[in-house]
Every structure is written in structure tokens, then in C-alpha cells.
């Protein structure tokens, strides 16, 4: 019993001595504590009382303040003015221990966080600087009026035309065939072989040779013909095609040299196509830009057809045609469908169908899906230009500026 009491007292004394030692360090600069004596009496009268003498370390002498920067304390005994914070850390052996400095892991984490935040701020500032520089250096292009752009294009811009386009307009061959001639090295410009179809040239100033033949300096003027296509002719400009639509204009081409001496014969082609069994209005020209605009779907030109069908036409047929059909994955709907009154000399029914999509065999597919059979099909109008009623089959007429305006083209 006495032994256990002694060990308990010894442990308590040790803890008290440690606490008083820490306390004396913090308060030594204020006052000096006297020597303390502790005693413990046991309930057993046979054992003598235990006595402990506890003393405090003398205070360190005060030093005069140094006007210079004070050195940073590195350990527990650096000075009385430092406030010590105890850190309870679990050591590598798994036991808790008391130390006066923060753990190394905590210091490393703090340092890493500070470094990362600095880097982020630096990157952000760099981005801001670049954005500000781009904003100040990048300027929007000046906006010019239509009159200013037109004046620039007419007086300062290169007025040359693409080489392939010049060759096609001179009647050498089609645009694609002219490009093949250029790629094959059969075209020279000012004595040098030119392999680029996009090269800008001026026939009046540049010397152009094709297969050893000099290209005339003068270019043929634009030709616009409206032709009443007969049945059995194809819309091809091939030279070996005996029944092509262009061959119907041979008289016009033969009289060209007589009416326009010194000017090369134009190369004509059709604007769009009509199948071999369809008759009516088709445009023949040598103006590629005009043909592109007239045949492109974005122009949204309406085309009117007269379809003569076998059998009787009822309301259900008209409804079926007006609902449209799908051609090449696109649902095509006509603009209008109308049953025309019968003519005295025609026993078959006639339909007026107006479309704007211009899909291949569109009108024939619309009538076929309605359960009807086409006997003949004729195109009578493109845009605002109608086929002249007095124009015979296989005949043509030159278009005047008023006709071209009806087709949406300003010559």
C-alpha cells in the first residue's frame, strides 16, 4: 500500500515540476518565486512523511534592446518575450509527444499553398495582360459604303479575270476542260507556262497561247437566247452530240463572224436542263455568272409547267400532288396545282404545276405519286419570263434587257 502511494506521489510531483518549470519560464520576467516545499503524509503511521523540495531557475538578466533587427529565436530558450505554443504530435512510433515547433508536414503544406496561389495569380495577371494587349492592338476593319466599295472595285482593284474563265468565254472549251488544259501545261501566259486556273489575266494586255494558238485579244460579248426545245434533244454542249440543244443555234454561230468580225465565236451552253422528253423554254448563253444565278436554288425562281396526263383528273389527284413527294431524301411540295379547261382539239386533261425546287424529274414524280401518267410535259415560264407564244419549236430569240430583268439579271 505504501509503495503504490509513493509511486503515485512521485508521478504527481513530476507533473507538477514540469508545469512549474514551464510557468517559471513565462513569468520569470515579472517576479521571482520563492522556494516551495511539499510534503505528503500517509494514512499509515508506520511510514514517514515524504518531502519534496521544488526550486525555480533564476531569471535570465534582461538585455538592452538592440536598435538593429532582433535575431529570430530558434529554440525554446530564445528569450522570455517569445510566446511558446505547445504542439502535440504523433511520432513515427505512434506515440504522442509534445514539441514547441509545428510539424514539418504542416509547414510544407502551408508553403505549397502559398506558392500555388502566387503562381495562379501570376498566370491570371499574364492572361489579363495578353487580353488587354489584344484588345488594344486588334482593330475592326473600317466600314465602307457601297459607293466607296464600287469606286474601289472599278478604279483600283485588279480588273483581271480568271484564266479558266477567259478561255471558256473565248470558246476554247468548257470551264472544266479549260482547267484540265491548264493543269496539263498547254497554256502559256506572256511566254511562261501557267498551271494555275485562278491566275488573273487580261486578254487585251496579256499574251495567251493555248496549244500553240494565240487567244484573240477581243472577247465575245454576252449572248442570251430563249429557245423552244423540241422533244428528243438533250441539254448537252458536247461536240459529238448530234441532237443537242446547242446544235439548234448553229445558224446563229455561223453568222457570228459576219456580224462580229475579229471577235471569237462564243461558246454556248444551256442554263439548267430539261430531260429528253420535256419540251418548252430553256435559256442558252455564254455568261457563266448569269447561268449560276439563274440555276442556283437560292435564287428561288419559280418554273411553270403544263402537264398533259392520261385519263380523268379528280380532286383527290390534285390533293395528292399538292401534298408533295420525297425526291432524293427531300420532301418537295409544288407552289400551286391547277386543272386547266380542256381544249376542243385535245382530249386529255391538262395540269398547270408551279415548282421552285428544280429537282430532277420533280414534276414527273409529283404526277406519278398521285396515280396519274404524263403524256407530255412542257415548260412555259422561268421567273417572270414566259415562252413567247409565237416562238416555234426548235426556234430561238435573243433576250433584251427587259427580258433579262424579268429573269432577275441586270445586263
81 tagged catalytic? no
The CA-atom distances, in angstroms, between 89 and each of 78, 102, 104 are 22, 9, 10
**Catalytic, out of 275, 289, 328, 345:** 275
| CA-closest candidate to residue 141, choices 133, 149, 131 | 149
Q: How many whole angstroms separate alpha carbon 398 and alpha carbon 317?
A: 39
What number of other Cβ atoms are within 10 A of residue 54's Cβ? 14
Q: How many whole angstroms separate alpha carbon 323 and alpha carbon 331?
A: 9
Q: How many whole angstroms separate alpha carbon 161 and alpha carbon 167?
A: 10
List residues with catalytic annotation. 275
Amino acid at each position: 500500500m505504501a509503495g503504490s502511494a509513493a509511486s503515485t506521489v512521485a508521478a504527481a510531483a513530476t507533473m507538477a515540476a514540469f508545469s512549474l518549470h514551464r510557468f517559471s519560464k513565462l513569468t520569470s520576467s515579472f517576479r521571482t518565486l520563492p522556494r516551495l516545499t511539499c510534503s505528503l503524509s500517509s494514512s499509515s503511521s508506520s511510514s514517514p512523511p515524504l518531502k519534496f523540495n521544488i526550486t525555480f531557475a533564476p531569471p535570465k538578466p534582461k538585455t538592452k534592446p538592440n536598435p538593429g533587427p532582433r535575431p529570430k529565436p530558434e529554440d525554446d530558450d530564445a528569450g522570455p518575450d517569445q510566446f511558446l505554443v505547445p504542439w502535440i504530435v504523433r511520432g513515427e512510433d505512434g506515440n504522442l509527444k509534445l514539441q514547441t515547433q509545428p510539424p514539418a508536414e504542416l509547414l510544407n503544406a502551408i508553403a505549397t499553398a502559398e506558392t500555388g496561389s502566387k503562381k495562379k495569380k501570376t498566370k491570371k495577371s499574364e492572361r489579363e495582360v495578353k487580353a488587354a494587349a489584344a484588345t488594344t492592338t486588334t482593330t475592326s476593319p473600317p466600314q465602307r459604303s457601297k459607293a466607296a466599295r464600287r469606286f474601289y472595285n472599278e478604279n483600283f482593284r485588279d480588273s483581271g479575270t480568271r484564266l479558266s474563265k477567259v478561255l471558256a468565254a473565248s470558246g476554247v472549251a468548257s470551264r472544266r476542260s479549260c482547267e484540265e488544259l491548264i493543269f496539263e501545261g498547254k497554256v502559256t501566259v506572256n511566254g511562261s507556262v501557267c498551271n494555275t486556273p485562278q491566275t488573273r489575266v487580261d486578254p487585251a494586255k496579256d499574251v495567251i497561247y493555248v496549244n500553240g494558238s494565240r487567244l484573240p485579244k477581243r472577247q465575245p460579248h454576252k449572248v442570251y437566247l430563249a429557245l423552244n426545245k423540241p422533244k428528243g434533244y438533250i441539254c448537252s454542249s458536247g461536240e459529238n452530240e448530234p441532237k443537242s440543244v446547242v446544235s439548234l443555234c448553229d445558224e446563229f454561230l455561223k453568222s457570228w463572224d459576219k456580224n462580229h468580225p475579229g471577235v471569237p465565236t462564243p461558246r454556248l451552253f444551256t442554263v439548267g436542263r430539261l430531260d429528253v422528253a420535256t419540251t418548252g423554254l430553256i435559256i442558252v448563253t455564254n455568261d457563266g455568272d448569269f447561268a449560276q444565278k439563274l440555276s442556283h436554288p437560292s435564287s428561288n425562281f419559280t418554273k411553270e409547267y403544263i402537264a398533259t396526263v392520261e385519263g380523268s383528273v379528280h380532286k383527290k389527284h390534285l390533293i395528292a400532288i399538292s401534298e408533295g413527294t420525297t425526291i432524293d431524301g427531300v420532301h418537295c411540295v409544288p407552289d400551286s396545282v391547277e386543272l386547266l379547261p380542256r381544249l376542243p382539239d385535245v382530249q386529255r386533261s391538262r395540269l398547270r404545276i408551279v415548282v421552285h425546287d428544280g429537282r430532277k424529274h420533280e414534276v414527273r414524280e409529283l404526277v406519278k405519286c398521285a396515280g396519274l401518267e404524263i403524256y407530255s410535259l412542257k415548260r412555259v415560264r422561268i421567273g417572270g419570263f414566259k415562252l413567247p407564244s409565237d416562238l416555234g419549236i426548235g426556234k430561238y430569240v435573243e433576250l433584251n434587257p427587259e427580258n433579262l430583268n424579268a429573269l432577275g439579271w441586270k445586263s
